[in-house]
């Protein structure tokens, strides 16, 4: 029963993160379209993507946030 509740919470959290990610992706595309209108915009886009790739590689395997279980345990 407890595991079902945890799975439900994780599933809802995952759904919310996926929805937020989709909204962020839309915003990124809109911002990129605006940047492309400027002379240095494409260069800024490439630099931002390069930096994101570096951050992704640097944090691979790291857990930046505590798990949901430990967060819930602290709430009680």
C-beta separation of 36 from 45 below 8 A: yes
Q: Residue 49 pLDDT more than 70?
A: yes
Q: What is the mean pLDDT of residues 38-56?
A: 91
Q: What is the mean pLDDT of residues 23-37?
A: 93
Q: Pick left, alpha or beta for residue 38 (phi over 0 → left; psi -120 to 50 → alpha; otherwise beta).
A: beta
Predicted local distance difference test score (pLDDT) of residue 60: 82
Q: What is the mean pLDDT of residues 46-53?
A: 92
Q: What is the mean pLDDT of residues 19-43?
A: 92
Predicted local distance difference test score (pLDDT) of residue 2: 86
The radius of gyration computed from the CA coordinates of the chain, to the nearest angstrom, equals 18
Q: What is the mean pLDDT of residues 31-55?
A: 91
């Amino acid at each position: 029963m407890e595991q079902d509740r945890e799975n439900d919470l994780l599933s809802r959290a995952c759904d919310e993160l996926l929805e937020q990610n989709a909204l962020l992706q839309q915003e990124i595309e809109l911002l990129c379209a605006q940047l492309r209108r400027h002379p240095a915009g494409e260069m800024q886009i490439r630099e931002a993507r390069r930096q994101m790739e570096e951050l992704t590689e640097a944090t691979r395997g790291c857990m930046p946030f505590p798990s949901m279980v430990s967060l819930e345990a602290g709430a009680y």
